[in-house]
Amino acid sequence: MVLPGSASGRLVICGFGLIGGSIAAGVREAGMAGAIVGVDADPVVLDEARRAGLLDGAGWPADLGPDDLVLIAVPTLSVASILEALWDAEQGLLAGGAVVSDVASVKQPVLDAARDICGGLPANFVPGHPIAGSERSGVGAARADLFRDHRVILTPVAETAPAARQRVAGLWQQLGAEVVDMAVDEHDRVLAMTSHLPHLLAFALVDTLGRSPEHEAVFRFAAGGFRDFTRIASSDPVMWSDIFTANAAAVSAVLDRLDAELAELRGLLETGDRDGLRTIFARAKALRDAHVTGHAGGGHE
Amino acid sequence: MVLPGSASGRLVICGFGLIGGSIAAGVREAGMAGAIVGVDADPVVLDEARRAGLLDGAGWPADLGPDDLVLIAVPTLSVASILEALWDAEQGLLAGGAVVSDVASVKQPVLDAARDICGGLPANFVPGHPIAGSERSGVGAARADLFRDHRVILTPVAETAPAARQRVAGLWQQLGAEVVDMAVDEHDRVLAMTSHLPHLLAFALVDTLGRSPEHEAVFRFAAGGFRDFTRIASSDPVMWSDIFTANAAAVSAVLDRLDAELAELRGLLETGDRDGLRTIFARAKALRDAHVTGHAGGGHE
């Protein structure tokens, strides 16, 4: 196998955290040819990546050509500053025609920033988002199989060159992922529901309990259910404050709906309406049992 | 090993679901002597328990003596009806002095019902609650190791005979559990926070998403984080409608505090206060990392 596109092309990964590191590890494990070049603001991170055997070079190359693939794997709100540094239609590093993609969890602000910075969306820019991750962060948590059997959503727009989209899709497929195209606004709405709101609830719950005068007993008597429920509250605060800032409108909209649901449940609680509660719980259980496969297996209270 | 108390005593388990069945399986695996007698309203359940080798007999014995131990393992609001059927100070099945315990997730209503029914709390009644379970229910999900390295909370009161408490504690310890005593009201408040509120949020989230016009895409693009976060929404609706009805006041109180936290987060979202969000997320992450051990390991978005 070769890196999608060309045997001579480089894969430049900017932001060598969990996602960037896992892409590099997956490329190595798949035996794809082509050099991996790491870019990160933190030299310690690049040292760690080098020791893990994930790098053939570090720092931006002097030039990039059509065979090169740049993956920007920094927190959502930092993508713009990377594009800004790379972009100049005549003299910038992307002027040579490299394909560029990103992994940000919210797509509209990235597209807006790219349009602003580049004066229109470059044909070689392919917005992407792997639906995989971990509550652990950093290159030390990288895993070659992180994307295997996971979905990667691409949100190409009218300006996106099909060949560029195909290059990016090919990389993810070689890492074992299923690539799905989606409209930008649908992506941001759906992820607000499946990912962003659950993270907000997990952070909110843990912080609420931590503020309780009984918080020592609370954490002492937490069992497996609590551990699984709050696992995502151990996620990276920088990454997630970016995501919520970037997708505030969609998250607020679904939070409105959750508030209405909680108000309904509170009403049933306060009137002691056991049948009403049971109806909602049974509906939720049926939905989850039908649509979400896989048991975490841990016991809980 | 023998069943705590006496080699000749019987262990009568009333309600042969996940908890009752796991107690029986644990007693078998530990090789404790003494007959296991199963009682369940559903004869199919008892057949299944018998086929699994968990029963020496079925149905209430003609009489019970001080060597016998009765564990009532039915949903919280059904404990009272079982006590009602057993209790008559002169002629009831419990008149012979058997030790009785329960496993209900909310303790105050069980104690109130026992006081009402028995005209004061019987000395041989030991309220208990194993902090272990699964989103799966029924005897088919029973596991001999369900309680191993889990905590079991007992809430003995002034009337409780120390010897009765010791019998019940001894059973749980032989199943590998750590037994902890707690005041009734503290138990119900702490469990409202660590267990009941997370379940309410999981049910509420899944039901909210299920009502969305985009719910097919939502469930299709849910990854490991969502699966773990909502695992408890697959729990038994009957058990949980009982728990919320029984612990409505404590759950409402902690839901108030969560509402306040969500309102604060919403304010930060709407003003784009990335630093404010990051501060709360970092605090929650630090709390969870410090207090909740164990990784579920699954990837998420």
Domains present along chain A, CATH in parentheses: 11-182 (3.40.50.720), 187-291 (1.10.3660.10)
For chain B, residues with pLDDT lower than 70 are 1-8, 293-301
Chain centre distance of CA B267: 36
A157 in B contact zone (CB under 8 Å): no
> Which of A203, A279, A281, A289 is the mutation pick for testing B, counting most B CBs within 10 A?
A281
Per-residue DSSP letters for B42-108?
Answer: -HHHHHHHHHTT--SEES--S---TT-EEEE-S-GGGHHHHHHHH--TTTSGGGG--EEEE--S--H
**Is residue A202 scored above 50 in pLDDT?**
yes
3-state class of A23 per DSSP? helix
Q: Chain B closest CA to A150's CA: distance in Å?
A: 8
Q: Which of residues 233-252 of B touch A (CB under 8 A)?
A: 233-238, 240-242, 244-245, 248, 251-252
Nearest to B151 among A77, A153, A221 (CB): A221
Q: How confident is the model over B154-188, as pLDDT tens digits?
A: 999 999 999 999 999 999 999 999 999 999 999 99
Q: What is the pLDDT of residue A81?
A: 94
Q: Say which range, A5-14, A167-176, A258-267, B19-28, has the weakest mean pLDDT.
A: A5-14
Asked if A264 and B99 count as a contact pair (C-beta separation under 8 A), the reply is no
Contact (CB<8Å) B241/A281:
yes
Q: Which of B216, B55, B256 is nearest to B139 (CA)?
A: B55
Per-residue DSSP letters for B271-297?
Answer: TT-HHHHHHHHHHHHHHHHHH------
Place of tokens 């709360």: B280
**Is residue A299 scored above 50 in pLDDT?**
no
Instruction: Find the farthest-apart pair of alpha carbons in chain A and give their distance in angstroms, rounded.
Output: 69
Residues in CB range of B291: below 8 A, 6 or more apart? A219, A220, A222
Q: What is the pLDDT of residue B228?
A: 86
Q: What is the pLDDT of residue A142?
A: 94
Q: Strand pairing partners for B180?
A: B153
Q: Please, is B63 exposed, middle or buried when counting C-beta atoms within 10 Å of its C-beta (0-12, 13-18, 19+)?
A: exposed
What chain A residue is nearest to B206 in terms of C-alpha separation?
A: A284
B150 in A contact zone (CB under 8 Å): yes
Taken as a whole, chain B contains a residue count of: 301
Rounded to a whole number of angstroms, the distance between the first and last alpha carbons of chain B is 48
| Residue A204 CB-half CA count within 13 A | 24
Average pLDDT, chain A: 91
Q: pLDDT confidence of A90, banded at 50, 70, 90?
A: confident
A184 in B contact zone (CB under 8 Å): no
3-state class of A299 per DSSP? coil
The 10 Å Cβ neighbour count of residue A23 is 26
**Is residue A135 scored above 90 in pLDDT?**
no
Report the sign of the C-alpha dihedral through residues B103, B105, B111, B117, in that order.
negative
Per-residue DSSP letters for B18-39?
Answer: HHHHHHHHHHHHTT-BS-EEEE
Q: What is the pLDDT of residue B217?
A: 86
3-state class of A242 per DSSP? helix
Angstrom distance (rounded) from CA A134 to CA A200? 16
* CA dist list (Å): A239 to B112, B212, B221: 49, 27, 20
Q: What is the mean pLDDT of residues A14-42?
A: 94
Tell me the residue type at B284: A
Angstrom distance (rounded) from CA B234 to CA A31? 41
Q: Please, is B51 exposed, middle or buried when counting C-beta atoms within 10 Å of its C-beta (0-12, 13-18, 19+)?
A: exposed
ipTM over 0.90: no
Q: Chain B closest CA to A62's CA: distance in Å?
A: 34
Q: What is the pLDDT of residue A215?
A: 86
**Is residue A223 scored above 70 in pLDDT?**
yes
Ramachandran quadrant class, A292 (left: phi over 0; alpha: psi -120 to 50; beta: rest):
beta
Angstrom distance (rounded) from CA B205 to CA A255? 10
Q: pLDDT confidence of A60, banded at 50, 70, 90?
A: very high
**Is residue A170 scored above 90 in pLDDT?**
yes
The dihedrals phi and psi of B147, each to the nearest 5 degrees, come to -100, -5
Q: What is the pLDDT of residue A294?
A: 53
Place of tokens 């899944």: B206
Q: What is the mean pLDDT of residues A3-10?
A: 61
Asked if B12 and B64 count as a contact pair (C-beta separation under 8 A), the reply is yes
Place of tokens 């393992």: B73
Q: How confident is the model over B102-139, as pLDDT tens digits?
A: 999 999 999 999 999 999 999 999 999 999 888 888 99
Angstrom distance (rounded) from CA B298 to CA B90? 56
Q: What is the pLDDT of residue A301?
A: 28
Q: Chain A closest CA to B287's CA: distance in Å?
A: 7
> Which of A226, A238, A255, A279 is the mutation pick for testing B, counting most B CBs within 10 A?
A226
Contact (CB<8Å) A278/B254:
no
Tell me the residue type at A242: D
**Is residue A126 scored above 50 in pLDDT?**
yes
Contact (CB<8Å) B284/A199:
no
**In the structure encoding, which two tokens stand for residue B111, read together?**
């104690």
B206 in A contact zone (CB under 8 Å): yes
Contact (CB<8Å) B284/A207:
yes
Q: What is the pLDDT of residue A4?
A: 52
CA dihedral A50, A55, A60, A61 (to 10 degrees): 130
Q: What is the pLDDT of residue A5?
A: 44
Nearest to A277 among B206, B241, B275 (CB): B241
Asked if B196 and B252 count as a contact pair (C-beta separation under 8 A), the reply is no
Angstrom distance (rounded) from CA B197 to CA B191? 8
Angstrom distance (rounded) from CA B224 to CA B187? 31
Q: What is the pLDDT of residue B25?
A: 97
What chain B residue is nearest to A269 in terms of C-alpha separation?
A: B248
pTM of the model: 0.89
**Is residue A63 scored above 60 in pLDDT?**
yes
Tell me the residue type at B42: D
Chain centre distance of CA B23: 12
Angstrom distance (rounded) from CA A50 to CA A35? 13
**Is residue A250 scored above 80 in pLDDT?**
yes
A128-130 vs A151-154, strand pairing mode: antiparallel
DSSP label at residue A293: -
Angstrom distance (rounded) from CA B43 to CA B195? 31
Q: What is the mean pLDDT of residues A18-37?
A: 94
